[in-house]
Structure formats: structure tokens, C-alpha cells
Structure 1
């Protein structure tokens, strides 16, 4: 079992990184390009709080998917997720310890997944890994 875990851990970490980036990317695409269309993002000013959030989601999402600058991207993304949780979910509801009640489950999970990626690195299948082998 240990050999299988040793073999598969970097690959599963890469899948976690890619899926996390994919989720972030779609949040950014919905805000900035209306794909998929979500009515609350209609007429969203680019330099509003949600507009800047979309820019961050788009950039960090792409960087995580391809595994480029993974740790800095995850650091920014983790801080972004924490800010999203507090600003978007805790502040309006006043509920801190129950994300199921304040609607912040996605934000807090993405925050801590990216916090893990800061320390764990990109895993397999990343441009960061390709760059370090070439150096």
C-alpha cells in the first residue's frame, strides 16, 4: 500500500490542483465573460469588488491548471478565498463558524485547498516541474 501511495500522491495532488484551478476559472469566466450566464453578474463593472475577484479567479485558475508559478498563485488564491469567505459570506450574515448557513462552503474549501497547495507544491504534470527539470 505504501508503494502505491508514494507513486500516486504526486498525481492525485496534480488532479486536486487542476480541479481547483478549473473551479476558479469558471467563476472568473462567469463574472468577466458571462460564460455561463449568471444574471447577478450582468453589467458588472470590471473594477468593482466582484470584477477584480473575477480577474483574480481567472488568472489564478489558469496558473493552477497549467501548474505555472503554482505556489505564488495558490498563496494569492488562498488569501482571495479567505477574503471571499469573510467579505461575501460572514459579513452579510454575521455567521462565522457555520459555512453551511452563510453559503461560504465553496470559498472556505477553496481557501484551504490552495493553502495546502502552497506547501505541497504542484504535484505531477506541471510547468513548474518541467521548468525545474530543465534548470
Structure 2
């Protein structure tokens, strides 16, 4: 059983699944802020010319590119920095511990995106198609 679970094909497939799920989760933040869907009361009055609006555009465009697996490494690098800045600007001033300041999600996003900077998109991606390595 261990050999099946640790086979390169399975690991790479899981890598793609994680990328798609994380990208959709971030994309949902962007669509909520920019497109108003899903309707989130905290995002109801986000304007494009504000920091939250700029963040929403980054989440929308970066999330979409990440889901598609297009330019994954540079997009992941930008998103890792974006979520680190979000943590330190929004959450850290509210307290030292992430569980207290509500910054767990931003911190987890930061490290997951950092992982993808080095790991790449996986086989189910436009990057893999462009390189002729798609599953």
C-alpha cells in the first residue's frame, strides 16, 4: 500500500488537486470582493481603488491563474508574498498568536504558495501542457 501511495504519479496528482483547491479557495475571496459573489457582508463595500480592492484583484487574477496552473511558480511567488503582507498588515497588529489574531488562513496560504514556488503546478495544469508533460 505504501508503494502505491508514494508513487510519483499519485504524489503529482495530489499536488495538482491541492493546487486546484487552494486556487479555488483564494479565487472565492477575489470573486466575493470584486464580483460580489458569493455575497459576504464584510466585502459588500470594497472599492477597487482601496487596498482591499487591490487585494481582491490579486486574489481574482492570481487565484484563476493558480487554478489553471498557468505561470504557477511566479504566480505562487507573488501570492506567497501577498498573503504574508496580508498577515502582517491585517492580523499581526491584533495579537502575536495566529489563533488569537485570526491570521491562520493567511499564514497557511503563505506557506502553501511558497511550496508551489518550488514544486510547480503538477501534471494537471496548463504549465504541464505547455511543456508537453500533461497527464
Gaps of 5+ in 1: none
Offset of 1:45 from its aligned partner?
1.4
| Structure 1 equivalent of residue 13 of structure 2 | 11
| Structure 2 equivalent of residue 2 of structure 1 | 3
| Structure 2 equivalent of residue 55 of structure 1 | 57
TM-score (norm 2): 0.92
| Structure 2 equivalent of residue 77 of structure 1 | 79
User: In 2, Cα distance between the equivalents of 1:90 and 1:125?
Assistant: 35
- Find runs of 4+ consecutive structure 1 residues off by over 6 angstroms: none
User: In 1, Cα distance between the equivalents of 2:66 and 2:31?
Assistant: 15
| Structure 2 equivalent of residue 118 of structure 1 | 117
Offset of 1:27 from its aligned partner?
0.2
Say which structure, 1 or 2, has more relative contact order (CA 8 Å, 6+ apart): 1
Offset of 1:3 from its aligned partner?
4.7
Which deviates more, 1-10 or 30-39? 1-10
Offset of 1:4 from its aligned partner?
3.5
CA RMSD of aligned residues (A): 1.3
Offset of 1:70 from its aligned partner?
0.3
Q: How many residues align?
A: 131
Gaps of 5+ in 2: none
| Structure 2 equivalent of residue 27 of structure 1 | 29
